[in-house]
Structure 1
């Protein structure tokens, strides 16, 4: 029988010329899909946006149906970038490692590994949000193949652009279909965030209004000071708590979540610097930091931050004679490390000499040992044409022993 597939009772009608029986239903569903967003304080969304802005891979943990995929669509829309969703659990290891393609002369050109279409689209666009869903349902072989994608951004023979952000989602193994604990190497490459929804948020969403994803805006004028402060905080903290530099949990569940390692402390450093430069709220910053290094180390870091309150090192270098050295030893160390990092980020003779003025105050305060490491780092930055400033006198013997200055200073 010939006729319109949407209206088989109309013989001879051209396809698409008459509305089908589902047209009204489709229009109704379109009305239900039309929602709006509003600014709202949501530390969970802020922490996700902070990690994505800092370009750190994020893993969202939440029960099925909690809205992780919808959150990714909203985030990509807010960032103005395309979203590529990959269901990790239905792929083979070769889908991430690449499929071999034999060329004309393999002995000369080798055998390239062909990337999948989603990777080619991201590389062609130059930016995007790559979302790996159902990560905890992926078997160990697939998780192993994903290691290189997450860490090196390499898919087969293709390297994804640095501007591509990576987010994954997982259900707890107890509620995941054929769930697995994440392998420690893969888990240690993510910022882990718990993804939940408040009942009031869901109720308001059913009325057509969801919270807006506020993307942090990094202030270029604050970038240098933010990096220096973050370096001072993380380096000072790990100097005081060396046992937290690396600690692999003993249980499988703990190894599959966030735990401290040199890699995750580097992630925490980037999150903290981005948070300082963007003015991120304390709750969101706390969630991101504990999501990077784990709850135990993260809570200790947050307690350390709570009482640190470092001054802006760039402002101090602009007028080094006007500041007072903090009284507490941990604050002194973190501040001096931050000052040296600020000098390194914008190295000039005036800033280098100002750095020695700052370090000299540690000597005047009777704590030259606190400034010893900072002094060695600052001396290593010296241009051979720059004269040795007066403030270095108290450190000359130490620096000569360390080889940072020639004999006779």
Structure 2
């Protein structure tokens, strides 16, 4: 056996090694719900620049490679940190008569290849290791898609990746102007996805399926959501963080709110899950404003109290307890604004329906408030007896808790 190995042609052995490498690289994909991958593909479909934040070796580059393969887009990778600012702003080329013709800014070869292809995925890797001068040169590329005198085609999508400064090689904080141009997504690993991928099957990256019949409604809904929040909270229109690290992440500005509006419209037309929408919204305007917007979206979907009072037997109440509480409080407030006997009775019927279909604790406060709205000439409806026990039990529980707290203070 040793003699055979010694006499084996080294070139042939390299061919066998190449065959083994090909077998290892031969993987497949399967449909699987992966929220961060779905968030990435939706932002790509919305034609918004995306920045993936993750520790080294987490799989950011592999995810982009697989995305480009699945979407059949040519992948162009540019390591931002090893380029000069002129590589993105354009290289000056002196012509025959610069005094009259000027000095054009020639684009780099990778940009020319993208234009020739007419479509593609531009991957700006190691963004957090790019010095400030390079970051400044990237501003026009990310926002306007211009490199020198060349404009990238509309079918080119831009995705970047960065490591946190603590784990980046000679890392820098992202400048606020550059950070505000991206949708920031935290890229983490899922144990099951990694194990199944090592076995040869990775999640399939697919563009969201947009319902063509929902496009006008999706745009209207997105505009109502963003404009409604900013009308009620004008200080959220532009809020530059005070900390340097926070400025390098998502924060609210007119530009990022416009991006958020687009993401909500796409998510609505694609019927995207709330988890994915939350990742996108918080990755565009930040956690605080993003959570406020998500809460206002929940309230936009709530039924109109007047509709519920008009036909309590057909009422459909939210499943979530917090949203159900908001609806019932709104019903009681509607009765307070226009107190009538029929509306008062209808509100009691709604509280009974809530008691029958959900947790009893959410009806305690609305029932107590509604009872206080009774006029002297209004008869007590029979349905109120079904709520009396819940309210009484809640009051006794509060009294016991108060006595225990009082005893603990002694």
TM-score normalised to the size of structure 1? 0.71
- 1:72-97 C-alpha deviation (Å, 9 max, x unpaired): 11111222211111000111101001
Work out whether 1:78 is the aligned partner of 2:70.
yes
Aligned to 2:141: 149
**Pairing partner for 2:258 from 263, 266, 269:** 266
**Pairing partner for 1:208 from 200, 225, 232:** 200
Determine the C-alpha separation between the residues in 2 that align with 1:206 and 1:79: 22
Aligned to 1:49: 41
**Pairing partner for 1:137 from 129, 134, 152:** 129
The answer on whether the counterparts of 2:71 and 2:206 sit within 8 Å (CA) in structure 1 is no
The 1:52–1:326 alpha-carbon spacing in structure 2 relative to 1, beyond 3 Å, is: farther
- 1:142-183 C-alpha deviation (Å, 9 max, x unpaired): 000000100111101101112211100000001000000000
Work out whether 1:26 is the aligned partner of 2:21.
no
Work out whether 1:232 is the aligned partner of 2:224.
yes
Work out whether 1:93 is the aligned partner of 2:124.
no
**Pairing partner for 1:253 from 242, 245, 268:** 245
**1:328-339 to 2 correspondences below 5 Å:** none
Aligned to 2:402: none
The 1:265–1:310 alpha-carbon spacing in structure 2 relative to 1, beyond 3 Å, is: farther
Aligned to 1:355: none
Moved over 4 A (4+): 323-327
Determine the C-alpha separation between the residues in 1 that align with 2:273 and 2:120: 25
SS of the equivalent of 2:140 reads: helix
- 1:344-389 C-alpha deviation (Å, 9 max, x unpaired): xxxxxxxxxxxxxxxxxxxxx99xxxxxxxxxxxxxxxxxxxxxxx
The answer on whether the counterparts of 1:193 and 1:291 sit within 8 Å (CA) in structure 2 is yes
**1:1-400 to 2 correspondences below 5 Å:** 19-309=11-301
Determine the C-alpha separation between the residues in 1 that align with 2:208 and 2:250: 23
SS of the equivalent of 1:227 reads: helix
- 1:230-279 C-alpha deviation (Å, 9 max, x unpaired): 11111011111111111111111100000001100000000011111122
Q: Which runs of 5+ in 1 are unaligned?
A: 1-8, 11-16, 312-322, 328-364, 367-409
The alpha-carbon deviation at position 198 of structure 1 amounts to 1.0
Q: Which runs of 5+ in 2 are unaligned?
A: 1-6, 309-336, 339-410
The 1:115–1:147 alpha-carbon spacing in structure 2 relative to 1, beyond 3 Å, is: same
The 1:118–1:325 alpha-carbon spacing in structure 2 relative to 1, beyond 3 Å, is: farther
The 1:205–1:278 alpha-carbon spacing in structure 2 relative to 1, beyond 3 Å, is: same
The alpha-carbon deviation at position 201 of structure 1 amounts to 1.2
The alpha-carbon deviation at position 217 of structure 1 amounts to 2.2
The answer on whether the counterparts of 1:78 and 1:215 sit within 8 Å (CA) in structure 2 is no
Higher helix proportion: 2
Determine the C-alpha separation between the residues in 1 that align with 2:196 and 2:150: 43
The answer on whether the counterparts of 1:229 and 1:310 sit within 8 Å (CA) in structure 2 is no
Larger Rg belongs to: 2
**Mean CA deviation greater in 168-177 or 281-290:** 281-290
